Amino acid sequence: MTDHKNYPALIGAIAGDTIGSIYEFNNTKRTDFVLLQPGMNYTDDSLMTLAVANWLYARDGAGLSYGEDEILLTELMRSIAKDYPCPMGGYGGRFKQWLQANSPSPYNSWGNGSAMRVSAVGYAAATLEEALDLAELSAAVTHNHPEGIKGAQATAAAIFMARKGSTKEEIIDYVEQHFGYDLHRNCDEIRPTYHFDESCQGTVPEAIVAFIDSHDFESAMRLAVSLGGDSDTLACITGGIAAAYYNDIPQAIVEFVANNLPTDLVTVVNRFCSHYGYKTIDQPSRHRGDRITPAHITNLKPNEVFVFGSNLAGFHGGGAARIAHAKFGAIWGQGVGMQGQSYAIPTMQGGVETIKPFVDQFIDYARQNPIFRFYVTRIGCGIAGFTDEEIAPLFREAVDVENICLPTEWWALLDR
């Protein structure tokens, strides 16, 4: 039997999550949106997908009992959430309580979180029966309601069957017979009345239909997002199935997703891929894609921040500071830090050495707030009178902080 593995496993699901991220609370019902945009980023869906991947890798060959499996998965999910406490979109309320509980236990959830994190199971399982068993284990630590387990199993089964070369008709028949989902619909029928639904039973069938209606990975992404609703989770589920079925993810999408992922998460992806025989991805080149600050910024999405050079007195009268004050919420009289959708770094108080502590403070802030994407302008290179060659090295540590974008001129200097 064919075993489709000519793509980086997990990236299909993470790509769907990333592409859907900006539409979760701002739905579109169109398919002709710009596929890859600044401001798109991984959310909790991707983080929990990677936690399950870590679990599968760690348990393989370990001979764990059910209780040990449960403890290991719980620890890995809580560990990645501790490292990434504020992903774009945030964690759901009950799940966040579970993450923070002294003695976490399942809470009978039927939410779609069990389905959005299960894709690694479909990629790792050796048999369909193993996929169903592992999917139940991956869900039951939180989503032990029958619908929560069913959603995870249906998703994992669809991915496994797609990976093994099943036709769309075979996938439809199996999912309908074993899980009772109605897949004899199409996106055009679903789209007009579909709305936000956080349940498995209101998300998984629609995500599978988006895959069924598609003709390649990109069209699957566009269809899933165009349904509206919980866009990142819908596209995450669709992306996992579509990658396995089409045995291909366009390179532009792979690179975009890789450039959004922190280096340690890229390592998780590649370790899983190497272990289970999938194609790996290159460590991202951080000067590409949307890590470049646009030359002219006239508007921002809700999670984007304009980083400008200021003075300690907070007199935002000229250059980028004037734009920050007029458009992005910079506060007159405040010369340092976050304010509205802007972040001020003082550059007028002395030499380059006096700027560095404020740059370091900014980089630390960006690390602690991955939900935001920071567009750093050429601070200090205007009214303050410094050169790019003097200022760019101050941002060397920002190269590996994936939510910081830098000017093209600085990437050229930092890549030397």
Q: What is the pLDDT of residues 157-169, one digit of tens each?
A: 999 999 999 999 9
- How far is the C-alpha of 22 from the C-alpha of 231, rounded, in Å? 8
Q: What is the pLDDT of residue 402?
A: 87
Is-contact 382 319, C-beta < 8 A? yes
> Tokens 């200090």 map to which residue?
380
- How far is the C-alpha of 190 from the C-alpha of 309, rounded, in Å? 48
The torsion angle over the Cα atoms of residues 31, 39, 299 and 192, rounded to 10 degrees, is 30
Q: What is the pLDDT of residue 287?
A: 46
The reply to whether 204 and 100 lie within a common domain is: yes
The reply to whether 36 and 146 lie within a common domain is: yes
Number of independent structural domains in the chain: 2
Q: What is the DSSP string of 79-90?
A: HHHHHSSS-BT-
- How far is the C-alpha of 223 from the C-alpha of 212, rounded, in Å? 10
* Backbone CA torsion sign across 129, 132, 138, 141: negative
Instruction: Mention every residue, 6+ apart, whose C-beta is less than 8 A from residue 108.
Output: 144, 145, 148
Of 251, 276, 301, the position where a domain reaches its end is: 276
CA 245 to chain centre: 21
Whether residue 1 is contained in a domain is answered as no
The reply to whether 299 and 190 lie within a common domain is: no
Find the domain containing 139 and state its range: 11-276
- How far is the C-alpha of 404 from the C-alpha of 397, rounded, in Å? 10
The reply to whether 168 and 21 lie within a common domain is: yes
> Tokens 């579509």 map to which residue?
242
Whether residue 220 is contained in a domain is answered as yes
Q: What is the pLDDT of residue 290?
A: 64
The reply to whether 269 and 293 lie within a common domain is: no
- Cα Rg, the chain, nearest whole Å: 22
Q: What is the pLDDT of residue 212?
A: 98
Is-contact 161 174, C-beta < 8 A? yes
Is-contact 237 16, C-beta < 8 A? yes
Is-contact 92 113, C-beta < 8 A? yes
CA 151 to chain centre: 21
Q: Parallel, antiparallel, or unpaired: how do β-strands 373-376 and 304-310 relate?
A: parallel
Is-contact 78 104, C-beta < 8 A? yes
Residue 161 — φ and ψ, nearest 5°?
-65, -40
The reply to whether 239 and 310 lie within a common domain is: no
Q: Which of 352, 353, 396, 329 is nearest to 344 (CA)?
A: 329
For the chain, list residues with pLDDT below 50: 286-287
The reply to whether 24 and 103 lie within a common domain is: yes
CA 40 to chain centre: 8
Any idea how long the chain is? 416
The reply to whether 166 and 34 lie within a common domain is: yes
Q: Which of 223, 222, 200 is nearest to 210 (CA)?
A: 223
3-state secondary structure (DSSP) of residue 138: helix
389 burial class (0-12, 13-18, 19+ CB within 10 angstroms)? exposed
- How far is the C-alpha of 405 from the C-alpha of 336, rounded, in Å? 19
Whether residue 70 is contained in a domain is answered as yes
Q: Which of 416, 366, 359 is nearest to 391 (CA)?
A: 359
Is-contact 393 413, C-beta < 8 A? yes
Residue 256 corresponds to which tokens in the numbers above?
């975009």
Helix H or strand E segment including 268 = helix 263-276
Q: What is the pLDDT of residue 415?
A: 65
Read off the pTM.
0.74
Of 276, 300, 315, the position where a domain reaches its end is: 276
Whether residue 283 is contained in a domain is answered as no
| DSSP state at residue 242 | H
Whether residue 6 is contained in a domain is answered as no
The reply to whether 293 and 259 lie within a common domain is: no
CATH of the domain at 402: 3.40.220.10
Q: What is the pLDDT of residue 298?
A: 87
The reply to whether 229 and 356 lie within a common domain is: no
Q: In DSSP terms, which residues pair with 43 in a beta bridge?
A: 88
